[in-house]
């Protein structure tokens, strides 16, 4: 099959490979620089080199001010659509500029400036976006923490980022439930060693939060005062290599990794992606149905659509339940969405509630051209169902928090290539991918291996982990010298299509959210009655995977195992947060291990998933696997 017929992809990819610096120098011309890059890549700077090392720029200027200057002031930049509060509001580029310049001035009044960190623990409200742009405007480094994380996770991030200030809101809203944020924040600050000087709190009408005198400040009151005084702040010239943000993501231990994104490379790659990968033109409406706490939200709610002069949708709701499975179609029709980007799990949720897509009826999707899926493996069933009901191309693409944009995809802007179900298609310019065996040697087509990207990584990819060059090197670069280890495993076919099959570490993907089973095991082992434990991700029809914990109780514990199981479930919710979706803990008398003592998590997962499995040659006692299968039965897992 000629999968590339009609697409410009092969020539563009080959062009990049021939002259990577020339490719990115050309792409960089789409950005308004204070000082344009003279040097495109410095291979001797940073851990593996740095992009645009001598350029000076400002991300907020490129997202907002330049469009106002160019005559887009009256066009909507952000449409906030919040079925959970019954609110819709649009902000034009000019209005957004006014909001952001005022908030930036407020932050400066708190002494926040270039290089200072600001943590945002906020729901999906416009003020969260204003805050991200305001930080970018004055050179402060934002770090957004997803609202579904518990106090302890927030505390870990506070201690790592050491923010001068935290921005928060009184509550988030989960369908019909109001989730108070302030008690979680207060608890996190109590737990953390680093104490931020100030907290700026947005009181939402659904819930009023209490304030700590001296530390906490009322967002609304300060905003009114700043507006009255006509305060504004200009864009600060920054080095392209200055950090724009830190976004924490699960690592292989309970300690999250602070992925650093710089200003210049991020703008260049994301701007390139909008036209060439997503096929979107300035003025069109782009909707990433994600959360600003995740990388998809950062890149494709907050930044890329605005770099391109598009309208971005900020949706505070769910695919189902707010109020029903027709919510996505309503939003697409009402706002004239041209492209929707979400996780497959959202479509599985819609398909479950409305299998025949009856709720699509009456919605005018004539502007809707493409559905993009990422965040987890897109199962062929879901893709085919979406294709059938929407009658538009459904494009799977693969990326990571670390990269900030597509590693492999099907670039509709360059001309769509054949969709192969189960594959996220082909590497984007910037990414030279190899599939490696255990010895780091590339394997041929159809052979599974570790997926690695040849260094240097392209613009937008992390230059390092926040203040941890060594950990960056150790986690990503050490195992396969000359490569970045993606920690995903998979294969490539004869046409060069990439198939992402699993992770090579302990990360699982729950409803598109990335979580460390190692982090959960640390919590289970800390329970006083638990001797040892193992957490594995098991198949789930809706969320792709959910965690399942196996616990072995200490000798002499004579409480009922179900009580302890409930306690460990509650502990994970308390320590990591509801986002972990940890609902099943199962007591077993022992765990299956190899003779050298390694827990056989992979085999346990296969048993739970009812996949074919072979008895591991090195197993200590094969009878234990039967015990695991017996324990799994009758636990509501369909086993």
Q: Which residues make up the interface to ligand COA (CB under 6 A)?
A: 147-148, 172, 174, 179, 290-291, 294, 296, 318-320, 342-343, 345-346, 349, 375, 511-513, 578-579, 581
Chain position carrying tokens 């928090």: 401
Q: Which does 456 bind (CB under 5 to 8 A by kind): ligand AMP, ligand COA, none?
A: none
Minimum distance of ligand COA from residue 344's CB (angstroms): 8
| 171 contact partners, CB below 8 Å, separation of at least 6 | 123, 178, 179, 180, 181, 182, 204, 206, 207, 209
Q: Which does 424 bind (CB under 5 to 8 A by kind): ligand COA, ligand AMP, none?
A: ligand AMP
Q: How open is the CA angle 356-545-524, to the nearest 5 degrees?
A: 145
Minimum distance of ligand COA from residue 502's CB (angstroms): 18
Cis peptide before 189 (omega within 30 of 0): no
Q: Which does 343 bind (CB under 5 to 8 A by kind): ligand AMP, ligand COA, none?
A: ligand COA
Report d(CA 472, CA 47) in Å as an integer: 8
The upper half-sphere exposure of residue 567, i.e. CA atoms within 13 Å in the direction of its Cβ, equals: 16
Minimum distance of ligand AMP from residue 87's CB (angstroms): 28
Minimum distance of ligand COA from residue 116's CB (angstroms): 25
Minimum distance of ligand COA from residue 232's CB (angstroms): 31
Report d(CA 47, CA 470) in Å as an integer: 9
Q: Which does 147 bind (CB under 5 to 8 A by kind): ligand AMP, ligand COA, none?
A: ligand COA
Q: Which does 249 bind (CB under 5 to 8 A by kind): ligand AMP, ligand COA, none?
A: ligand AMP
Minimum distance of ligand AMP from residue 399's CB (angstroms): 6
| For ligand AMP, the closer CB: 225 or 501 | 501
| For ligand COA, the closer CB: 67 or 266 | 266
Q: Which does 260 bind (CB under 5 to 8 A by kind): ligand COA, ligand AMP, none?
A: none
Strands 449-454 and 433-436: antiparallel
Q: Which does 509 bind (CB under 5 to 8 A by kind): ligand AMP, ligand COA, none?
A: ligand AMP
Minimum distance of ligand AMP from residue 386's CB (angstroms): 14
Report d(CA 141, CA 251) in Å as an integer: 21
Strand partners, 530: 553
Chain position carrying tokens 């369909």: 638
Report d(CA 50, CA 30) in Å as an integer: 19
| For ligand COA, the closer CB: 320 or 591 | 320
Minimum distance of ligand AMP from residue 44's CB (angstroms): 29
Minimum distance of ligand COA from residue 381's CB (angstroms): 15
| 639 contact partners, CB below 8 Å, separation of at least 6 | 608, 610, 629, 632, 633
Find the Cα–Cα–Cα–Cα dihedral 534, 536, 540, 543, rounded to 10°.
Answer: 110
| For ligand COA, the closer CB: 112 or 125 | 125
| For ligand COA, the closer CB: 192 or 290 | 290
| For ligand AMP, the closer CB: 316 or 402 | 402
261 contacts 465 by C-beta, under 8 angstroms: no
SS3 235: coil
| For ligand COA, the closer CB: 121 or 483 | 121
| For ligand COA, the closer CB: 39 or 573 | 573
Report d(CA 494, CA 193) in Å as an integer: 53
Q: Which does 396 bind (CB under 5 to 8 A by kind): ligand AMP, ligand COA, none?
A: ligand AMP
| For ligand AMP, the closer CB: 222 or 378 | 378
187 contacts 180 by C-beta, under 8 angstroms: no
200 contacts 222 by C-beta, under 8 angstroms: yes
Report d(CA 357, CA 90) in Å as an integer: 29
| For ligand AMP, the closer CB: 247 or 608 | 247
Minimum distance of ligand AMP from residue 416's CB (angstroms): 16
Q: Which does 4 bind (CB under 5 to 8 A by kind): ligand AMP, ligand COA, none?
A: none
DSSP 26-75: HHGGGS--SB--S-SEETTSTTT-EESTT-EE-HHIIIIIHHIIIIITTS
Minimum distance of ligand AMP from residue 250's CB (angstroms): 8
Minimum distance of ligand AMP from residue 424's CB (angstroms): 4
DSSP 579: G
CB neighbour class for 617 (10 Å; exposed up to 12, middle 13-18, buried from 19): exposed
Q: Which does 544 bind (CB under 5 to 8 A by kind): ligand AMP, ligand COA, none?
A: none
167 contacts 120 by C-beta, under 8 angstroms: yes
Strand partners, 551: 533, 587
Residue 74 has a CB neighbour count (10 Å cut-off) of 10
369 contacts 332 by C-beta, under 8 angstroms: no
Q: Which does 103 bind (CB under 5 to 8 A by kind): ligand COA, ligand AMP, none?
A: none
Q: Which of 441, 471, 443, 473 is nearest to 455 (CA)?
A: 473
| For ligand AMP, the closer CB: 57 or 295 | 295
Binding site for ligand AMP (CB under 6 A): 249, 295, 374-378, 396-401, 424, 488, 500, 503, 509, 514
| For ligand COA, the closer CB: 309 or 344 | 344
Q: Which does 488 bind (CB under 5 to 8 A by kind): ligand AMP, ligand COA, none?
A: ligand AMP
């Amino acid at each position: 099959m000629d999968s590339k017929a009609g697409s410009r992809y092969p020539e563009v990819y080959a062009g990049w490979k021939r002259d990577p610096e020339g490719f990115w120098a050309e792409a960089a011309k789409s950005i308004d620089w204070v000082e344009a890059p003279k040097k495109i890549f410095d291979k001797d700077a940073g851990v593996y080199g740095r992009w645009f090392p001598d350029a000076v720029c400002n991300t907020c200027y490129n997202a907002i001010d330049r469009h106002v200057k160019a005559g887009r002031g009256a066009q909507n930049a952000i449409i906030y659509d919040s079925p959970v509060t019954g609110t819709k509001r649009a902000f034009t580029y000019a209005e957004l500029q006014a909001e952001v310049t005022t908030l930036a001035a407020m932050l400066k009044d708190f002494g926040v400036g270039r290089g200072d960190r600001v943590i945002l623990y906020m729901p999906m409200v416009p003020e969260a976006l204003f805050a991200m742009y305001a930080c970018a405007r004055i050179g402060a480094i934002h770090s957004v923490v997803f609202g579904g994380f518990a106090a302890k996770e927030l505390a870990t991030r506070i201690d790592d980022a050491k923010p001068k200030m935290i921005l928060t809101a009184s509550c988030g809203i989960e369908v019909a439930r109001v989730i108070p944020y302030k008690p979680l924040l207060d608890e996190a600050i109590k737990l953390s060693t680093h104490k931020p000087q100030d907290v700026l709190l947005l009181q939402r009408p659904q819930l009023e939060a209490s304030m700590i005198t001296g530390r906490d400040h009322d967002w609304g009151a300060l905003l009114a005062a700043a507006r009255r005084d006509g305060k504004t702040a200009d864009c600060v010239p920054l080095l392209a290599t200055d950090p724009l943000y830190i976004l924490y993501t699960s690592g292989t231990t309970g300690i999250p990794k602070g992925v650093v994104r710089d200003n210049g490379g991020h703008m260049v790659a994301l701007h390139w992606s909008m036209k060439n990968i997503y096929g979107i033109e300035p003025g069109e409406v782009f909707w990433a149905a994600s959360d600003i706490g995740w990388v998809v939200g950062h890149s494709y709610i907050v930044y890329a659509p605005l770099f391109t002069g598009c309208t971005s949708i900020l949706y505070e709701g769910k695919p189902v339940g707010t109020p029903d499975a027709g919510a996505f179609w309503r939003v697409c029709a009402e706002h004239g969405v041209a492209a929707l980007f979400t996780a497959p799990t959202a479509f599985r949720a819609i398909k479950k509630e409305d299998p025949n897509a009856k709720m699509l009826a009456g919605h005018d999707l004539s502007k809707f051209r493409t559905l993009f899926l990422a965040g987890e493996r897109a199962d062929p069933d879901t893709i085919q169902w979406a294709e059938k009901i929407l009658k538009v191309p459904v494009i799977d693409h693969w990326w990571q928090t670390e990269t900030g944009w597509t590693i492999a995809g099907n670039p509709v802007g360059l001309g769509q290539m054949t969709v192969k179900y189960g594959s996220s298609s082909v590497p984007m310019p910037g990414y030279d991918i190899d599939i490696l065996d255990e010895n780091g040697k590339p394997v041929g087509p159809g052979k599974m291996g570790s997926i690695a990207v040849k260094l240097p990584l392209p613009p937008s990819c992390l230059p390092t982990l926040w203040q941890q060059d060594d950990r960056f090197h150790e986690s990503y670069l050490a195992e396969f010298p000359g490569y970045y280890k993606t920690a995903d495993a998979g294969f490539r076919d004869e046409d060069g299509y990439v198939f992402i099959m699993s992770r090579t570490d302990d990360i699982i993907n729950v409803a598109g959210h990335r979580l460390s089973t190692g982090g959960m095991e640390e919590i289970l082992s800390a329970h006083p009655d638990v001797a040892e434990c193992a957490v594995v991700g098991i198949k789930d029809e809706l969320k792709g995977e959910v965690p399942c914990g196996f616990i072995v109780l200490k000798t002499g514990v004579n409480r009922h195992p179900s009580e302890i199981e409930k306690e460990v479930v509650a502990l994970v919710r308390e320590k990591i947060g509801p986002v972990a979706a940890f609902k099943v803990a199962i007591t077993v008398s022992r765990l299956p291990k190899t003779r050298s003592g390694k827990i056989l998590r992979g085999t346990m997962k296969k048993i739970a998933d009812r996949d074919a499995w072979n008895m591991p040659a090195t197993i200590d006692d094969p009878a234990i696997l039967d015990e695991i299968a017996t324990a799994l039965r009758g636990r509501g897992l369909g086993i």
